[in-house]
Amino acid sequence: MMNRKTFIKHSLGGLALASVTPIYAMSPDLQEPEPLDIKLVKEFVIAGHKNLPLVKEMLAAHPNLIYARYDWGNSDFEEAIEGAGHIGNKEIANYLISQGARVNLFVLTMLGKTDLVKPTLDAYPELVFAKGPHGFTLLHHAKVGEAKELYDYLIAKGLKETHIKIK
């Protein structure tokens, strides 16, 4: 059984919540934004492989594309920076990094960032066998990036494949 004091306290709390809810629901700043168009995301990820002028143009129009990932199927996700990474396009990868792209071990390997990659793999040795977008391994990224020291390091760690099927 609720006493008068508890009833008033709960009623006032409910009224306060009810008066704020419509403001929250109607405020454009507080509503969830629409997802980016999937065709736009796909075009950007494709451009990230080899078309720097288009990457720059698309980012100028849609800055959050830098965080977008496209699913090629079976959870084979890829960002534009990862496209640059697996084909060895250092110019696009470095540009995207300068714009705030999220880097990963595969891109750092392609860029030859030995001082970052080795300590990470020493701390998490199982990542030597990780699969990147499309199943390309760290060994593939070291090869296309001409990162000889990392290539030799990965071979010594037991990585032999440049690609592991993920589909």
What secondary structure, in 3-state letters, does 106-166 show? HHHHHCCCHHHHHHHHHHCHHHHHCCCHHHECHHHHHHHCCCHHHHHHHHHCCCCCCECCC
At 27, list the tokens. Answer: 């405020």
Distance separating alpha carbons of residues 127 and 105, to the nearest angstrom: 9
Spatial distance between the Cα atoms of 152 and 145, rounded to a whole number of angstroms: 13
Beta pairing class for 77-79 and 69-71: antiparallel
Confidence of residue 130 (pLDDT cuts 50, 70, 90): very high
Cβ atoms within 10 Å of 21's Cβ, excluding its own: 10
State residue 67's pLDDT score: 97
Query: Reduced to 3 states, what is the DSSP secondary structure of residue 70?
Result: strand
pLDDT exceeds cutoff 90 at 59:
yes
Residue found under tokens 């030597």: 128
pLDDT at 166: 85
| Residues contacting residue 14 through CB under 8 Å, at least 6 positions apart | none
Say if residue 30's pLDDT is above 80: no
Please state whether the predicted TM-score (pTM) of the whole model is above 0.85: no
* Confidence class for position 17, pLDDT limits 50, 70, 90: low
